Every structure is written in structure tokens, then in C-alpha cells.
Amino acid sequence: MKFQKILITLVFSAVYTLGFAQADRCGTDQSDAFMESIRENKKSFEATRNKARVERFIPIQFHNVGTTQGEGRVNDKDILKALCLLNERYVGTEMRFYSVGINYLDNTNVNDNPGGNQARTAMADAKNPAALNIFIVSDAGTGVAGYYTRNLDIVVVRKNTLSDDRYTLEHELGHFFSLAHTHRGWDQIANGPGVEQGGYDPMIHGDTVTIASVSSSQSGSTLIELMDMSNCTTAADEICDTPPDYGFGFSCSCCRMIYDVWDRNGDKIEPMIDNVMSYSNGCDPYRFSEGQVTAMHTDFDSNRRAYLRTNEVDQYTPITEEATILSPAGSEWEEFNGVLFDWEDVPNAESYLVKIDGALNEQFITTESELYLEILEADATYFWFVTPVSKFGASCGAEEVRIFTTGSGTTGLDEIENITNYSISPNPSTTGNDIRVFLTSEINMDAAVSIIDISGKVVLTQNENLNSGINKITVESASLISGLYIIQIETEAGKITDKLLIK
């Protein structure tokens, strides 16, 4: 027996040394004060359960926290990816989370010690009163991946747990909507010899667990749940369709029980090991029980959550595709001072986040499916990707990263005064597509755009007013048949002509 225990300890040490994340726990207080909501909500459980299942839309205010100097924030894209994943992981619950914005909170106290008094004041000030507030910080406390605090009614998660395969964010939102750990009471049994992570330990509790309650600073004294459901409304998480779980999740990263354990009635314990509100490792995907979903719905419908029910969104339109890139199509772009980044429209995208790296390190947000830049350097290499974004987050998948090199050519125009830059895209084009002309003008002036076929006949004319700055002209050329054309732009200062091929 003694040997076995040493062996287990050694195995545990090895596992926990290798898997740093596994040592992280949830910092949510689950005392009686926390349980008040679910106990109160239970009076309405039946009414909620019998209501037709409707989608519930939950506004989220993200707080992307950095140091007071504005450093160390996560990429906005990673937050939007986490939101996409959150919606995917909650899809069966019919709870839809949408972003009302990302607030940059530059405050070292919040970033490094969100539990401190100064940080709490700062977070209370930064809160959006009409949203679920999530603060993304560097350090949520020693060994703490995240928590919900009832006092401030906010969720705090550590940066490197966003989108993790342990469902940290999904778990903390479960707490936000009143759920306790399925192993409530066992969450901090970390004091016994050899018990490094808490939960049931065969050396301490035996194969048959005979004690009637457990106690932790996180949960207070809590009744031990029995398999026969005789005390399920008052023990552990107080939800009946989540079976007993004595904190078995920490026993391995394998998403199963490695012990045979019986309760004091002699019934073998069979937990819902892959429950989001357990501490199990290695399950992905995790799930909620029906009872937990009802509890969350009831909480959302309750008076204390009235502030979330803004009714400003009533349709779930997530992004399910990545952007298909059109330009730059190859690995080179001849002119450096006029580069068109172009991609196909993505269904449900409300905007696009374009990240350009390499010789430039900048993020652009555009509502159009293109971006024209005049600021790149000659003979430089750029990496870039585009992320479609909607209020339900970015696309969940990984974007295609493109690489191209600029040449030393310029789009500068000597022949026309006051026009400094000009390009056509796409060229060659295909029938049925419109063509875009980008013109950078130094002054406001009129321009006439014509398309002339090879016989010299003008097939299309458009009059445009150019403004000082970059102008985009959409030439409605969708009706043109394939062939070679001349595109001509005429202004008071002179004329630009160029070849245009439509395939």
C-alpha cells in the first residue's frame, strides 16, 4: 500500500510537471452566498423547462487588459476567435454570445493582480452595465486560470486560457449563470499528504467514501452527493442530473475515472466526467447536462440578469468560412506604393481584420472586402492574413497566411498633375465582375471613366467626382463580354489610359 502511494505520487508529479496547465484551478467562490442564485432560480426551473426552447442572446463586453504602459495585451483576433469557439461550444445550449466591443484597459494592477483592491475599483469603473463583462488578464492569481466573482459580477480569465481545450472561459460563464462545480465541496481538498491537486484520494477517503460532508474555503461545508439521487437537490452542485463527482478529474488527463469508488450506500460512483463544470482534464469536447442548461436559462431570465436582456440582437449569424484571397495573387507585387489586398466577401462578415506583418506590423479594420495601401516599402517582404468578423466573433478556423514581396516599381503618374497614384483591380478580370479603380488625388476634381473596345467604340462611360485622398471608383463592367479593352480616365489635368483584359 505504501509503495503504491509513493508510486501514485511520483506519477502525479511527473504528469503535473509536464502539463503545467493541469495544475491550474478555478478561483470561483462557491460558498452559500454564491449558491443563493441557483437556489432562488430553482423556484422557476419548471416554468423555464416547459417554455419553448428559445435562443438567448447575451451581450459581452471584453476588456483586453494590458500594463499601464499599454503593453502585453492579447491580439483582438484571439478574443474574437475565443468568442467563436465559445459559441460553438455552447451551441446546444441555445445561448448565443455576441460582442458589444473590446475595451483596452491599460492598468498594471488589473493585469497582474485583479483580486487586489485597486484593481477591483478599476474593474468596477470599467464595467459595461449592459453586458456580461470579461476581463482578460496576465495573472488571475497563483495557479488560477479564471474565476467569476459574484461581488463585481464579472468574469476574469487569464490570457493563455483563452480558447484552451479545458474550456476555461466556457466554465467561468457557467459560474456566471449560477452553476457550481459538479464536484462542489471537493474543489480544494489539497491538504492531505500526497494529494497535490485536491479531490478524492483513495489513501485518505478509502474505496468507499463514508464521510457525509466535505469542507473547503471555496465552498464551505458541503454535503457529499449520493448515486441514488436522494440528496441531489442539496448536495454538491444541487443539480440532480449531474451525478456525484468527488473531484475525480484531477486523477489523470485521460477524461475517465482511474479509481473504483463507492458511496456510503454501496453504489458505485459514475460521474459525468466530461462535464464543463468538472475539473476533468483531456475531455474536449465537454458538455453541460440538461439540468445545467435549464439552470443557466433560468438565470438569464431572472431579475438579476435583466440588464443582459437588451433585445438588440435576435438572430444568430456566426461566420463559418474563411476568406478566399484574390490579391495579391502571387508572391510578388510590382509596385510598392499601391498594393491592393482583396478577398471574396464572407457570408455574415460585418468587418474584416487585416493583419500585415513583416516589413510592417499593423492591423487594419475595414467593412469592405479590400484594402488599398500606399504605405508599403519597395523590395520588402510582407506576411498578411484577413479575418472575417461578426458580432459573434471571428471565424473559428485558422486563416491562410500569405506572403509577397514588393518590387521597386511605382504607380506614380507624371502625365497628370495632381494624380499621384493609380491602379486597376482586378486586371485581368472575368466577365460578370465589376472593376475597381483606385486614384489618389491631391485636389478635388471631376473625372470621366470610359471603357473602349478594340474597334475604338466607347462601350461604357461614368462620371466621377474625385476627392483629395484615395478614391475608389467601381466601374460597372459586369455586362462586358470577354476581350481586350482600353480603360481611360480623363480629368481636366490630363488623361490616363491603360489596357484592361476581361477573360
User: How far, in Å, CA of 39 to CA of 20, rounded?
Assistant: 35
- DSSP letter for each residue of 294-323: HHHHHHHHSGGGGGG------------SPP
Please, which residue, 26 or 373, has the CB nearer to Zn ion? 26
The least distance separating Zn ion from the CB of residue 335, rounded to whole angstroms, comes to: 55
- For the chain, the first-to-last Cα distance in angstroms comes to 80
User: How far, in Å, CA of 304 to CA of 17, rounded?
Assistant: 42
Among 356, 339, 304, 349, CA closest to 440? 339
Q: Which stretch binds Zn ion (CB under 5 A): 20-28, 136-144, 241-249, 349-357?
A: 20-28
Describe the crossing of helices 32-41 and 290-301 by its angle, rounded to 10 degrees. 90
Please, which residue, 28 or 471, has the CB nearer to Zn ion? 28
Draw the binding track, 22-41, toward Zn ion (x: CB under 5 A; -: no contact): ----x-x-------------
The least distance separating Zn ion from the CB of residue 395, rounded to whole angstroms, comes to: 29
Q: How many residues does the chain have?
A: 503
Please, which residue, 295 or 371, has the CB nearer to Zn ion? 295
Please, which residue, 23 or 360, has the CB nearer to Zn ion? 23
SS3 214: strand
- The residue at minimum Cβ distance from Zn ion is 26
The least distance separating Zn ion from the CB of residue 168, rounded to whole angstroms, comes to: 9
User: How far, in Å, CA of 180 to CA of 308, rounded?
Assistant: 21
The least distance separating Zn ion from the CB of residue 172, rounded to whole angstroms, comes to: 7
149 counts as binding Zn ion under rule CB under 5 A: no
Q: Are 245 and 278 in contact (CB under 8 A)?
A: yes
Please, which residue, 34 or 97, has the CB nearer to Zn ion? 34
Please, which residue, 146 or 328, has the CB nearer to Zn ion? 146
Draw the binding track, 354-383, toward Zn ion (x: CB under 5 A; -: no contact): ------------------------------
The least distance separating Zn ion from the CB of residue 171, rounded to whole angstroms, comes to: 5
The least distance separating Zn ion from the CB of residue 39, rounded to whole angstroms, comes to: 18
Sign, Cα dihedral of 224, 227, 229, 233: positive
The least distance separating Zn ion from the CB of residue 294, rounded to whole angstroms, comes to: 19
Please list, in sequence order, all residues whose beta carbon lies within 8 angstroms of the beta carbon of residue 327, skipping any fewer than 6 positions away.
Answer: 340, 341, 342, 343, 370, 425, 426
Q: Within 260-279, which residues bind Zn ion (CB under 5 A)?
A: none
The least distance separating Zn ion from the CB of residue 309, rounded to whole angstroms, comes to: 25
Q: Within 47-106, which residues bind Zn ion (CB under 5 A)?
A: none
Please, which residue, 28 or 395, has the CB nearer to Zn ion? 28
Sign, Cα dihedral of 229, 232, 235, 239: positive
| CA distances to 81, 92, 172, 306, 395 from 314, in Å | 21, 17, 24, 16, 20
Burial grade of 429 (CB within 10 A; 0-12, 13-18, 19 or more): buried
Please, which residue, 26 or 257, has the CB nearer to Zn ion? 26
Q: Are 477 and 451 in contact (CB under 8 A)?
A: yes
Please, which residue, 28 or 289, has the CB nearer to Zn ion? 28
Please, which residue, 28 or 491, has the CB nearer to Zn ion? 28
Instruction: Give the total of residues touching Zn ion (CB under 5 A).
Output: 2
Please, which residue, 28 or 441, has the CB nearer to Zn ion? 28
The least distance separating Zn ion from the CB of residue 402, rounded to whole angstroms, comes to: 40
3-state SS of 401-459 is CEEEEEEEECCCCCCCCCEEEEEEECCCECCCCCEEEEEEECCCEEEEEEEEECCCCEE
> Judging by DSSP bridges, how do beta strands 362-366 and 445-453 pair with one another?
unpaired
Q: Which stretch binds Zn ion (CB under 5 A): 18-26, 32-40, 107-115, 411-419?
A: 18-26
Please, which residue, 30 or 429, has the CB nearer to Zn ion? 30
Q: Within 189-228, which residues bind Zn ion (CB under 5 A)?
A: none
Question: How many helices (DSSP H) and strands (DSSP E) are in the chain?
Answer: 9, 24
The least distance separating Zn ion from the CB of residue 26, rounded to whole angstroms, comes to: 3
User: How far, in Å, CA of 261 to CA of 250, rounded?
Assistant: 15
User: How far, in Å, CA of 58 to CA of 313, rounded?
Assistant: 9
The least distance separating Zn ion from the CB of residue 352, rounded to whole angstroms, comes to: 35
The least distance separating Zn ion from the CB of residue 146, rounded to whole angstroms, comes to: 8
Among 475, 347, 361, 372, CA closest to 422? 372
Binding site for Zn ion (CB under 5 A): 26, 28
